[in-house]
Structure 1
Amino acid sequence: MPLSQGPSPGVAAQQSAPKQGVFLHTGWRSAGTWVWSRLRVLDSVTGFYEPFSNVLADLSLADVSASRPTLTSGHPPLAAPYFEEYRPFLQEGARGVAGYRKRFGTDRFAPAPDTEFPALQAYLANLCERTAEHGSVPVFKFCRSSGRLPWLKQAFPQVMHAAVLRNPASQFASGWLLNQQWSNPFFVAAPFRVLGLNQTEPLVRQAIEICGVSLPPAVPTSDDAYAMACEQYARTAEGNNAYRAFVALWILCALRMADGVDLMIDVDRLGQSRDYAAGLRAGFEAQTGLSPDFSSARDLVEETRRSAARMAGIDGRSMRAVHSAALKFLKAQNGADADFIELVREKMVLANELTEQWR
């Protein structure tokens, strides 16, 4: 697996026939939307945003134009609405993207595909095939795929599977500050929801326990009901517990990424090194023929440092133990790649530095 900490992702990229699309596996507040936007602007690309988002279950043609970044999203300006590329898969007077099921919207961490996966595979295959028929390259930006990444890698070997990795402190801070400033609890609630709905999986239960996460007391009777319970829980969640939940989900997703991606995108480094940005561009070009320009990436690590005084309600000094526990969890997994473990260790060291200033 090509990793992002080497001198050039382009050099490390596999030399083979061009991949027939890109699956970009990201986390909430990881800067994945920005990375995807750099691919979407290419003339040869059809960029699908969040193909597992539950918004797609009720989306109508009339809704598409309004699906743009808002002040509370923290997303970059986009030339077209988020869901513009789904228009051919919507019908006049009806709601819902063709083939989409709402249960796709919850990530899963089982070792083998669940009963929903054949329908999910058919849904994505239809998007890919219809796009290819028009001579375009499909590029999907996921936020709910990392747990299922091994399933997707096996089902779609013809596409490039790229992953976005951002240090957990910066990634969490982005969502926490949105909640503080705009009372938007979604990004605080999301880790509780995903962990809770997967807590019967031994690997997930282990991550919950090792990170010391307290889940909402509600019993998951349905995905929707539990999501609502988690949003309510997040509105008054103790900050340290919210961060522990985030790190537990972060390390689970990182573990899946380590096992199934063709290219790892280190967002922290992307904003600090023009050489790295150029190498990343070469990596995409080598595997897909696409040449996205990442030279305008912001230094998101420095932005996290500048926002430290605004991080209220969290004892950052106590987070070192959580970072250490998560890294220990990763190291304990059989077959964990040594280079990837080192990359995660670097992320945890950086997270220690960044959280030290939180009070």
Structure 2
Amino acid sequence: MTVFIHSGWRCSSTYVWHRFRALAGVRAYYEPWHEQLARVTAATIRAETPSNSGLRHPGGDTPYLREFEVVLDPSGGVRGFDPGFALDRFWIEPGASDLEQQVYVAGLVAAARERNEIPVLACCRTLGRAGWLKRRFGGFHIVLIRDPVQQWLSFYSLRRRPRPTYFELCHYVLLSEMSGCADVSRVLLGAGFEGGAPLADRIATVRARLKRAPASISFQAFLAVWLRSYLKALPHADLVVDVDRLARDQTYAREVEATIEAGCGLRPDFSDCRAPPPHGSHPPVAWRKAVRTVVDLMDLRQAIIGPEAPPILFRKLAPALAALTPGAAGRPAKLREALGGLVGGAWLARAPGRAYAAAAARMDGSRR
């Protein structure tokens, strides 16, 4: 059986992948839809490790992409991979035909099985295509979910200057190309963006146009993609893992391990899972207003609180919806945000952070 681990960026997927990788008889592919796979070589595989990434990942000096060595094309890149797979096919519908992508995934699965290994594919770029993958390959599908405010703050904390991170830029691209969301994209991002260009060009376009966008726009673009992604992925999940709770509740961690074992025969050990401390200082984002604006723009109230809604979505949004809305972001707040970008995203306005932290403590969805 093939195991698929679906998540967003900065959602503990590297940790979960790392724990599967530690199991005997497993070939755990890391980010098999990452655009860099189109140009990776044996030398670059050896050079890129968690310890030198600067991304606070577990794994030490073992190369992230070691498992791909057996599927490298002699001319460069991973055999069968097209860089368009990364984000161009992100929103593919379950019934859509995509023979190239299907052949690529089948090749990864076959490479593992030829070595009597169980293939595990863990990626931050598959929430939108979870249904397509399940229909084509079956398998056991795990969806990871995290408090969206803390997830976005993890992006923001990696800023080294007042410019959006790669993670933020990818969400701008995904939002600009979400089917049926052209109005949402125009409201949040401004003028429309042309699709069809290579991903690097599209990222360069959104960087040029939105490099000075306020933090609230970055968060709302992220949240729009977060909502659409989970609404597409959750119906196809065999297991949904609340990664906030996984790190704090050992009983829950044992339950997750047992459920995975029952579903696919593998039992990863999550006993060493530790949650990073919450990002206690926040940029000047009015969380409640930002969330409600996006939900209303996308007309998702019933999808979140209606009788058929997945309960986990509201639980994860609850702290932001309950947080006190800070005052209008005047010149002092905007100056703090700009200075925060200059010295790194960790230096941020503090009042909204206290409000969010208090609400999160009152309404910790990971414990309900």
1:26-80: CA deviations, max 9, x gaps? 1011111111111111112111011111100001111110111235323223452
Distance 1:194 1:323, change over 3 A: closer
* Structure 1 position 84 matched with structure 2 position 66: yes
Distance 1:258 1:103, change over 3 A: same
Where 2:269 maps in the other structure, the secondary structure is coil
* Structure 1 position 185 matched with structure 2 position 165: yes
* Structure 1 position 358 matched with structure 2 position 364: no
* Structure 1 position 222 matched with structure 2 position 187: no
Distance 1:252 1:57, change over 3 A: same
Letter in 2 for 1:249: V
Match of 2:28 in 1: 47
Please point out which of 230, 236, 259 is paired with 2:235: 259
1:354 shift after superposition: 6.7
1:317 shift after superposition: 5.3
Which whole-Å CA distance do the structure 2 matches of 1:207 and 1:259 have between them?
A: 24
The share of aligned pairs that are identical, in percent, is 26
1:178-221: CA deviations, max 9, x gaps? 024796610111110111133xx12x447647xx5225654335
Match of 1:308 in 2: 280
Q: CA RMSD in A?
A: 2.7
Please point out which of 270, 279, 282 is paired with 2:258: 282
Range with greater deviation from structure 2 (25-34 or 67-76):
67-76
Where 2:49 maps in the other structure, the secondary structure is coil
1:112 shift after superposition: 5.3
Given that 1:113 and 1:151 are in contact with CA atoms closer than 8 Å, whether structure 2 keeps it comes out as yes
TM-score, with normalisation over the residues of structure 2?
Answer: 0.80
1:243 shift after superposition: 0.5
Match of 2:57 in 1: 75
Given that 1:89 and 1:98 are in contact with CA atoms closer than 8 Å, whether structure 2 keeps it comes out as yes
Match of 1:346 in 2: 315
Please point out which of 130, 142, 145 is paired with 1:162: 142
* Structure 1 position 176 matched with structure 2 position 152: no
Which whole-Å CA distance do the structure 1 matches of 2:272 and 2:91 have between them?
A: 34
Given that 2:37 and 2:78 are in contact with CA atoms closer than 8 Å, whether structure 1 keeps it comes out as yes
Write the mapping of 1:184-203 to structure 2, written as runs, cut at 5 A: 185-198=165-178, 201-202=179-180
Which whole-Å CA distance do the structure 2 matches of 1:147 and 1:53 have between them?
A: 14
Given that 2:11 and 2:146 are in contact with CA atoms closer than 8 Å, whether structure 1 keeps it comes out as yes
Where 1:131 maps in the other structure, the secondary structure is helix
Which whole-Å CA distance do the structure 2 matches of 1:173 and 1:316 have between them?
A: 12
Which whole-Å CA distance do the structure 1 matches of 2:300 and 2:134 have between them?
A: 23
Which whole-Å CA distance do the structure 2 matches of 1:182 and 1:294 have between them?
A: 36
Where 1:213 maps in the other structure, the secondary structure is helix
Write the mapping of 1:105-184 to structure 2, written as runs, cut at 5 A: 105-106=86-87, 107-111=89-93, 117-157=98-138, 159-180=139-160
Which whole-Å CA distance do the structure 2 matches of 1:137 and 1:171 have between them?
A: 30
1:130 shift after superposition: 1.8
1:267 shift after superposition: 0.6
Match of 1:235 in 2: 211
Distance 1:286 1:186, change over 3 A: same
Given that 2:129 and 2:233 are in contact with CA atoms closer than 8 Å, whether structure 1 keeps it comes out as no
Where 1:164 maps in the other structure, the secondary structure is strand
Distance 1:280 1:327, change over 3 A: farther
Distance 1:216 1:242, change over 3 A: farther
